[in-house]
Amino acid sequence: MKTTKSILLFIALINVLSTQLQAQKKKDKTTKAEPVKITSPVYEKYIEDNEEAHLKEFLELISIPSISSIPAHKPDVERAADWIVTKLKAIGIPIAQLIPTEGQPIVFGSWDKAPGKPTVLIYAHYDVQPVKESEWLIPPFEPLVKDGKIFGRGASDDKSGVMISIWAVEAMLKTTGKLPVNVKFVFEGEEENGSPNFKSFAESHIELLKADFALNADGGQYDENTPEILMSLRGTAVMEFSIKTADIDGHSGQFGGKTPNSAVIMSQIISSFYTKEGNVAVEGFYDRVLPATAQEKEMMKKVPYNKANDMKILGTSAEAGDTTYSSLERIWYRPTLEIIGLQSGYTATEGHSNIIPGSAMARITCRLVSNQNPGEIQELIEKHINKNLPSGAAVSYKYGRGKGGASPMKFPADTKEYKYVTDVLTKIYGKQPLQMGTGGSIGSLVSIKNILGIYCYSLGMELSDENWHASNEFFRLSSMRKGQLIYCNYFEHLAEEEEKMKK
Amino acid sequence: MKTTKSILLFIALINVLSTQLQAQKKKDKTTKAEPVKITSPVYEKYIEDNEEAHLKEFLELISIPSISSIPAHKPDVERAADWIVTKLKAIGIPIAQLIPTEGQPIVFGSWDKAPGKPTVLIYAHYDVQPVKESEWLIPPFEPLVKDGKIFGRGASDDKSGVMISIWAVEAMLKTTGKLPVNVKFVFEGEEENGSPNFKSFAESHIELLKADFALNADGGQYDENTPEILMSLRGTAVMEFSIKTADIDGHSGQFGGKTPNSAVIMSQIISSFYTKEGNVAVEGFYDRVLPATAQEKEMMKKVPYNKANDMKILGTSAEAGDTTYSSLERIWYRPTLEIIGLQSGYTATEGHSNIIPGSAMARITCRLVSNQNPGEIQELIEKHINKNLPSGAAVSYKYGRGKGGASPMKFPADTKEYKYVTDVLTKIYGKQPLQMGTGGSIGSLVSIKNILGIYCYSLGMELSDENWHASNEFFRLSSMRKGQLIYCNYFEHLAEEEEKMKK
């Protein structure tokens, strides 16, 4: 691929990195009250001493275009998986291997030399979203550090989660030769493609994955200075449908006026999905949606949600949706039906083809809440489209891997798992984490709960303005250090607390 | 480009052509009552003797991808123009040259050695529509003869018109050394891009183009056995607009529910263009539309329009549009607003990007009738979109070459120009031509009428099932011979009739 180019870029980059890191460190010292201390300052020194080397290898991993949803990138996905296995071995993880699935391989690692101590399963994913290269300011797989930010596809979502958890374990192993708890890594290679194989992988590897606690390293914090703990995820149902009105496109003069136009019919069907208020008009869509609980309403009140700041992230000029629900409520506790892709006719930038399109295609993503079921929602949408189809149009549906998707999920606040995570965040940030919902979905966390019986609380460093899935994705340089401190601290805290409980 | 490949293909083709041509000739003899004789059988012999050579050069011209609307193809357009100039010189046209315009060059040719005889201006265009290569059964610029059909982009529209008129002149010049009338060729290189420069070219070359009669070789016949004479053209107004809701695409989980979706807004705006009955809902759109006249209603009655046969061409299963008007009336005398291209979000066949699209694009073509004015219609559509734009969305408009387009046009039936064309068609086909309208537009015919003062009656061999603008365009092998006979006959008939009038 672009390996040679990337290597040249690395060499050039390394020269500027030191300067950037120095500047960042100065900034850290000035903007933060006091550097966070963990139990053993030895770890912290290791983390700081290795910042440059870690950044270099982080850029190397980001430069591998591990786009799981594009078959041509399968070798890249495998290359990224191999790269991580090599890294795990290098830091002294005795069991580090690829586990094949029907899709992309799972990277599995296990350090189990703390008998009698709890085992923590760390989930993350090493695959990334596709890119619209023309919208990027840099080639998305030639990562670059600028103004304290690491730009590149996957820098934040979720190669940051993979590397931070590995580096934290590295800091402990390289300085003390051991970990206070047993650690299992399970890094998925197709989260961005809807985790089609994670459930069956988990079902067939229950013993291997067995753990007492689980962390989701594909998580984030509220902002640079405010921690959060994730209380809910929406589910997801994805589908594609095509409207066909003719076998071929027709001359717009010769046929225009008597010939159904697939682009127009598609537009009319899409319009029919919505009420005037911005809700979904598909019959039955809200049947299994529950209102936010009193506790959830309390949660939302505590979030200093700033509409204007939030709109700056994408550069939107108004909010959409049913305003009888608050912005947060719409994102966390209300389902959506979004058109994520739409194509019909001749749309190349250059050229002009004066035709009535014979076919049109749209892709839908629904985000689901409460008791909504992905497969059922897909059925309701099919029923709606079939009902609204005018004569002269045929419809076909496409599901990447059969119907279904990720279920919505909630995390309880009354568990010790919850407490350990919030303890650590409170210590590192100097304040209690905000309880947050999210509009996103991670189907694998649902599988981990349902199959392994563990709540996989999120503990990651992604921030919401880091352009996940979008162009010019980035990750903050400052989050590298802080993330490792959080993980080291968590391992120690967990070991101590569990030890106390034994006595 | 693909020249080497094409040459190899030619060599292979030539071997099968003879067989195909023989088969075609046999077919002609069995399906037609009797071969048409023209005044001088010498021409006819020449046409038959040169069928193979003509087909070979026809394929050569078709293989040049002269797509005028794609800048990268400018060298190809110029190559096609050069090719035609070379051909004109080879058949003995003394003046044969390229005339540059601000866009693609005009091919101009003139044979003026019949003093005192009328001059006929022949219009055609040598540029072609873009292609959706994946939908073609053959590479669109590697033309191929199969089952009596010449497949390739531009085979019918309108390289057939260019070559048939040239071959007819060739037959006369090569056999008798002269023509019965003076002939001027004006072949446009950007008809498929809306003829942006033809009007100003005509305005600045009035003397050069001066003629007594004009023929449009970009015309067709009703079917293989039924001639037609074109009585009206619709006009055309083309525009592109984009809806922008955000600077970048947003994660559909993180932002879905509070963020405007450009694809949805685009769909809603497109839906707002239409009434339930299938008419255009844009205010003022029909203000300058006149009902079909009594004579036009008579015309339509005489056309043996077969809805089912017509629908077979594109493979549609129902007609669309306001059925208070007949199918023909909708095509000939009613205006349209068609979506010809629509794009938003991630639509690559492979990969999956779960985003709320920040922008959406649609291309519109209106076909206009009566007194509708392209620029005014574009203004009305802009006004409609602006009025229907929800908050949170911005719109921008794009006009390839400023606002405007081709005006609609009608041809009178009470002129001698009309009579000469119908005489010849009646003779060749053994029956009177059907008076036909068309839904298509040829802006240059409007310019020829307005600037040069001549009605440019259509005389071409394209048939309506030949996939103009669409994939797998073809032209009938049998139309080559018949077209040349018609043109030779027309030249002779015109000379004779005009001579009679002098006496």
The predicted structure's pLDDT at residue A26: 45
The pLDDT score that the predictor gives to residue A38 is 53
Domain boundary among B376, B406, B436: B406
Domain endpoint, select from B406, B426, B450:
B406
Q: What is the CATH number of the domain that holds A457?
A: 3.40.630.10
Among the partner-chain residues A246, A251, A353, the one whose CB lies closest to the CB of B316 is: A246
- The Cα of A101 is separated from the nearest Cα of chain B by a number of Å equal to 19
Can you tell me the mean pLDDT for B151-155? 98
A102/A184 same-domain check = yes
Q: Considering only the beta carbons, identify the residue of B253, B331, B472 that sits closest to A438.
A: B253
A160 CA: distance to closest CA in chain B (Å): 17
Strands B213-216 and B456-458: parallel
> Does A56 fall in a domain?
yes
Q: Which residue of B has its CA nearest to A249?
A: B470
Chain B CB contacts of A257 below 8 Å: 321, 330-331, 334, 336, 367, 439
pLDDT of residue B354: 85
Same domain, B78 and B100: yes
Are B317 and A394 an interchain contact pair (Cβ–Cβ within 8 Å)?
Answer: yes
B348 and B387: one domain? yes
The size of the A-B interface in CB pairs under 8 A is 366
Q: Is the pLDDT of residue B150 over 90?
A: yes
Phi–psi pair at A373, nearest 5 degrees: -115, 125
Q: Which residue of A has its CA nearest to B129?
A: A353
The sign one gets for the Cα dihedral B16, B18, B22, B25 is positive
Average pLDDT over residues B167-176: 97
Q: Looking at the partner chain, which of B249, B263, B472 has a beta carbon nearest the beta carbon of A470?
A: B249
| CA nearest to B270, candidates A59, A319, A270, A388 | A270
Is A251 within 8 Å of B353 when comparing Cβ atoms? no
- Closest chain B residue to the Cα of A267, Cα to Cα: B267
Residue A29 within any structural domain of the chain: no
Residue B14: pLDDT band (50, 70, 90) is very low
> pLDDT confidence of B52, banded at 50, 70, 90?
very high
Residue A271's domain is classified under what CATH number? 3.30.70.360
CB contact under 8 A, B336 and A252: yes
ipTM of the complex: 0.85
Q: How many CB atoms lie within 10 A of CB A449?
A: 17
| Full DSSP string of A371-417 | T--HHHHHHHHHHHHHHHPPTT-EEEEE-BTBS-EEPPEE--SSSHH
Q: Is residue B326 part of a domain?
A: no
B19 vs A503: which has the higher pLDDT: A503
Domains identified in chain A, total number: 2
Share of chain B above pLDDT 70, in %: 92
A67 contacts on B by Cβ (under 8 Å): 351
- Is residue B260 within 8 Å of B247, Cβ to Cβ? no
Tokens of A444: 């694998």
Alpha-carbon distance B125 to A58, whole Å?
58
Please tell me whether residues A357 and A425 are part of one structural domain.
no
Angle between helices A51-62 and A159-176 (to 10 degrees): 140
Query: What are the CA-CA distances from residue B139 to residues A349, B126, B269 (Å)?
Result: 21, 19, 37
The nearest alpha carbon in chain A to B267 belongs to A267
Closest chain A residue by Cα to residue B354: A340
Task: Compare all CA atoms of chain B with the CA of A241 and give the residue at the minimum distance.
Answer: B347
List chain B residues with CB under 8 Å of A252.
Answer: 336, 338, 340, 365, 367, 439, 469
Q: In angstroms, how far is CA B445 from the centroid of its own chain?
A: 12
**With bands split at pLDDT 50, 70 and 90, how would you rate the model's confidence at A194?**
confident
Which string of DSSP letters, residue by residue, matches B411-428? --SSSHHHHHHHHHHHHH
Count of helix runs (H) and strand runs (E) in chain B: 15, 19
| pLDDT on residue A39 | 57
One domain for residues A213 and A76: yes
Mutation target vs A (from B258, B349, B391, B474; most A CBs, 10 A cutoff): B258
CB contact (8 A) between residue B341 and residue A357: yes
Residues A116 and A154 in one domain: yes
Coil, helix or strand at residue B97:
strand
Q: Let me know if residue B92 belongs to a domain.
A: yes
pLDDT score of A16 more than 50: no
B333 with B437: CB under 8 angstroms? yes
Mean pLDDT score of chain A, rounded to an integer?
Answer: 91
In the DSSP assignment, the letter for residue B100 is -
B350-365, pLDDT tens digit by residue? 777 789 999 999 999 9
Whether the per-residue pLDDT at A376 is higher than 60: the answer is yes
Question: Same structural domain for residues A243 and A126?
Answer: no
Radius of gyration of chain B (CA): 24
CB B454 within 8 A of CB B210: no
Strand order in the sheet with A119-125: A95-99, A106-111, A182-188, A119-125, A213-216, A456-458
Picking from B267, B268, B311, B465 by the largest number of A CB atoms within 10 A of its own CB, the best residue to mutate is B267
Which residues of chain B does A351 touch, with a Cβ-Cβ cutoff of 8 Å? 67, 69-70, 130
Return the higher-pLDDT residue of B23 and B332.
B332
With a cut of 50, say whether residue A311 has pLDDT above it. Answer: yes
Question: Does a structural domain hold residue B391?
Answer: yes
- Would you state the pLDDT for residue A502? 86
User: Are residue A12 and residue A83 in the same domain, yes or no?
Assistant: yes
* Residue pLDDT, tens place only, B99-120: 999 999 999 999 999 999 999 9
- Taking an 8 Å cut-off on Cβ atoms, the answer to whether B255 and A331 are in contact is yes
Partner-chain residue, chosen from A257, A331, A394, that has the shortest CB–CB distance to B336: A257
Same domain membership, residue A77 and residue A124:
yes
% of chain A beyond a pLDDT of 70:
92
Identify which of B251, B259, B315 has the shortest CB distance to residue A468.
Answer: B251
Residue A325 covered by a domain: no
B344 and A348 in contact by Cβ < 8 A?
A: no
Q: Which of B249, B309, B344, B355 to mutate to test the interface with A (most CBs of A within 10 A)?
A: B355
Q: Number of helices (H) and strands (E), helices first, in chain A?
A: 15, 19
Token pair 């949805």 is at which residue?
A: B264
pLDDT above 80 for A121: yes
Rounded to 5 degrees, what angle do the CA atoms B168, B171, B177 make? 120
Asked whether residue A73 carries a pLDDT value surpassing 80, the answer given is yes
Chain A residues with CB-CB distance to B316 below 8 A: 245-246, 250, 259-260, 392
Beta carbons of B350 and A69 less than 8 Å apart: yes
- Residue B460 structure tokens: 């071409």
Residue among A261, A285, A266, A264 at smallest CA distance from A275: A285
User: Is B477 part of a structural domain of the chain?
Assistant: yes
Q: Determine, for residues A267 and B342 on separate chains, whether the beta-carbon distance falls below 8 Å.
A: yes
Residue A424: inside a domain: yes
- How does residue B24 score in pLDDT terms, banded at 50, 70 and 90? very low
Together in a domain, A448 and A483: yes
- Let me know the angle formed at the C-alpha of B101 by A346 and B448, rounded to the nearest 5 degrees: 85
Distance CA B58, CA B6 (A): 13
> A485 lies in which domain range?
3-19+52-193+207-232+408-502
Whether pLDDT at B347 is above 60: yes
pLDDT band at B503 (very low <50, low <70, confident <90, very high): confident
Strands (DSSP E) found in A212-298:
213-216, 228-233, 235-244, 250-251
Cβ within 8 Å of residue A468, ≥6 positions away? A129, A156, A157, A462, B251, B254
For residues A339-365, give the mean pLDDT: 92
**Yes or no, beta carbons of A252 and B367 under 8 Å apart:** yes
pLDDT at B350: 76
Please give the pLDDT value at position A352. Answer: 73
Interchain proximity B258–A342, CB inside 8 Å: no
* pLDDT band with cut points at 50, 70 and 90 for residue A353: confident
**Can you read off the two tokens belonging to residue B387?**
């009025």
A258 closest CB neighbour out of B271, B330, B341 = B330
Amino acid at A248: I
Separation in Å, CA of A279 to nearest CA in chain B: 9
pLDDT at B268 over 60: yes
Residue B140: partners with Cβ closer than 8 Å, 6 or more residues away: B65, B131, B133, B152, B153, B471, B473
Give me the residue label for tokens 């695409």: B249
- pLDDT above 50 for A14: no
What pLDDT score was predicted for residue B2?
Answer: 39
| Residues A249, B472: C-beta atoms closer than 8 Å | no
Looking at A406, A436, A458, the residue that finishes a domain is A406
Angle (deg, nearest 10), helices B51-62 and B477-502: 110
The single-letter code of the amino acid at B113 is K
The chain B residue lying nearest A220, using CA atoms, is: B254
Question: Using a CB-CB distance cutoff of 8 angstroms, which residues of chain B are in contact with residue A310?
Answer: 258
Cα–Cα distances (Å) from A345 to A3, A360, B318, in that order, read 36, 7, 19
Q: Which of B157-161, B316-320, B401-405 has the lowest mean pLDDT?
A: B401-405
pLDDT bin (cut points 50, 70, 90) of residue B400 is confident
pLDDT at B38: 53
Residues B71 and B180 in one domain: yes
Burial (CB count <10 Å: 0-12, 13-18, 19+), residue B447: buried
Q: For residues A347 and A263, state if they share a domain.
A: yes
Residue in chain B lying closest to A343 (CA): B343
pLDDT tens digits for range A418-441:
999 999 999 999 999 999 999 999
With 0-12 CB in 10 A as exposed, 13-18 as middle and 19+ as buried, what is B89?
Answer: middle
Contact state of A259 with B314 under an 8 Å Cβ cutoff: yes
